[in-house]
Amino acid sequence: MPALLQPLHAEVLRRNPGEPEFHQALGEVLETLEPVLTARPELLEARLLERIVEPERQIIFRVPWQDDQGRIHVNRGMRVEFNSALGPYKGGLRFHPSVNLGIVKFLGFEQIFKNALTGLGIGGGKGGSDFDPRGRSDAEVMRFCQSFMTELHRHLGEHTDVPAGDIGVGGREIGYLFGQYRRITNRWEAGVLTGKGLGWGGSLARAEATGYGNVLFAAEMLKTRGADLAGQRVTVSGSGNVALYSIQKAQALGAHAVTASDSAGYVVDEKGIDLELLQQIKEVERGRVSDYAERRGPSARYVPGGSVWDVPTDVALPSATQNELDADAARTLVRNGVKAVSEGANMPTTPEAVRVLREAGVLFGPGKAANAGGVATSALEMQQNAGREAWSFSEVEDRLAFIMRDIHATVRDTAERYGAPGDYVLGANIAGFERVADAMNAQGLI
Ligand code: NDP
């Protein structure tokens, strides 16, 4: 940690005890900001960082609901409205038993800078619950979503706070949440949630956007070294929304995507992942990657409990969850000749692993930049809702591709401008920080 920022870092840790993921996300940003604060002392003077690290508002609430047997459960709901200098709070909802305030704050903090990088006028926020949708019936998930929205609705609005999906929150959950919002408010306010169904305000290519965007970002990084994604071997972790569409885009661009995983294990398919089969198992049957291996035949091998990063690859796309790629995994990837790692998930690579990769000269795309295509396309969904329009798939995808190239160029140029060519972490943090800090500075003491 640069000496200049040590007191602030210590103070934030002291005031936010027991939140290791937030501390990690914060440390990763603070470590890179010294060059901009030295070059622009007015930002230091205005104590912008001290303000940015404190959420504008944090909401924590009780979510009581009844299961199919009539038993009563109580979960905790949260929404952290972190920063609205650039636009309404925007960021997903996560339903997973691991969710706590520190995790929501880490995600919300990352979201501020990510959303700034899109250039689309969206602030940063995140929310969720420790509810576990796995193994629950549709009716149970609906009752939970209705109870969750019964409190959350009073904090939302298309110009105030606009949630979307994340882990455990997909199209089904967004549908139940939107229905309850509409019922309580008696308003057709399509722009209050993104990731909606296509027949009722959703955008084509939103489901695909995070994975597609990450693959495009990886391709842009490879280009800076004169390499092409086509023909490369790609490994992907996870088998949810981000993972599935990363595999699809990688294959469409001529790469060979050979893995998928879940919290129980991973599958390697030397013939390349059969996406149709995996989608059927994950999205329709809500099954596991072990089912894929069983049904696919001899080309697929299932490894229970192992690390997908043991599989040799040219390009690794971690797309499951935070801290899933540690220093040992990074060393294995380097030994096996990895050329690029691009984060589809939020903070999947530990700080030590990032160091290992950077020291070995591996291209590294941080999630703030690399997976920003999802939220960018959510902003495009909001634009369509505001104009009561529905754009074609190719129109949305073209805009997404333009945005990803623009983010890549901004991050690369910022890193160069601040004397760290090729450092996408520094470039993303500084470029995002400058946009938010400049807006806050112009808006008075907020
Ligand atoms: P999904 O719920 O669709 O899928 C999550 C996948 O990750 C599942 O395969 C799940 O396996 C696995 N996973 C989740 N938690 C763990 C864990 N603790 N250990 C191992 N595997 C785990 O989520 P998304 O695909 O939407 O999100 C994945 C990541 O991408 C998250 O970090 C999210 O924040 C990030 N992201 C998502 C965006 C989006 O548009 N959806 C946008 C930007 C970032 P299992 O079923 O076994 O739990």
pLDDT tens digits along 304-326: 999 999 999 999 999 999 999 99
Structure-block tokens of residue 411: 């991050």
Q: Does residue 166 line the site of ligand 1, with CB under 6 A?
A: yes
What pLDDT, on a 0 to 100 scale, did the predictor assign at position 32? 98
Architecture, CATH, for domain 208-361: 3-Layer(aba) Sandwich (3.40)
Share of the chain above pLDDT 70, in %: 100
- The contacts found for 68-71 with CB under 8 angstroms, 24 or more apart, are 68/137, 68/139, 68/140
What pTM, to 2 d.p., does this model score? Answer: 0.97
Question: Band of the pLDDT at 261, cuts 50, 70, 90?
Answer: very high
What are the residue numbers of the active site? 126
| Ligand 1 atom at minimal distance to the Cα of residue 107 | 34
Query: Contact 64/97 with Cβ under 8 angstroms?
Result: no
Cβ contact 51:82 at 8 Å = no
**Residue 376 CB–ligand 1 contact under 6 Å:** no
Of 212, 210, 216, residue with least CA distance to 195: 210
Q: What is the pLDDT of residues 68-77, one digit of tens each?
A: 999 999 999 9
> Which pLDDT value is given to residue 2?
92
Q: Is the CB of 344 under 6 A from ligand 1?
A: yes
Integer Cα distance of 412 and 415 in angstroms: 5
Looking from the CA of 234 toward its CB, the CA atoms found within 13 Å total 34
Whole-number Å distance, alpha carbon 240 to ligand 1 midpoint, is 6
First to last CA, the chain: 26
Confidence (pLDDT) at 206 = 97
CB-ligand 1 contact for 373 (6 Å cutoff): no
Give the count of beta carbons closer than 10 Å to the beta carbon of residue 426.
Answer: 24
pLDDT mean over 181-204: 97
Ligand 1 pocket, mutate which of 134, 217, 242, 245 (most atoms under 8 A from CB): 242
> Closest ligand 1 atom, CA of 164?
40
What architecture is domain 3-188?
3-Layer(aba) Sandwich (3.40)
The segment(s) of the chain belonging to CATH 3.40.50.720 are 208-361
Mean residue pLDDT of the chain comes to: 97
Domain with CATH 3.40.50.10860 in the chain: 3-188
**Amino acid making up residue 425:** V
Average pLDDT over residues 105-122: 98
- Which residue's CA is the closest to the ligand 1 atom numbered 35? 345
Q: Whose CA is nearest to atom 17 of ligand 1?
A: 263
Q: Which ligand 1 atom sits nearest the alpha carbon of residue 169?
A: 2
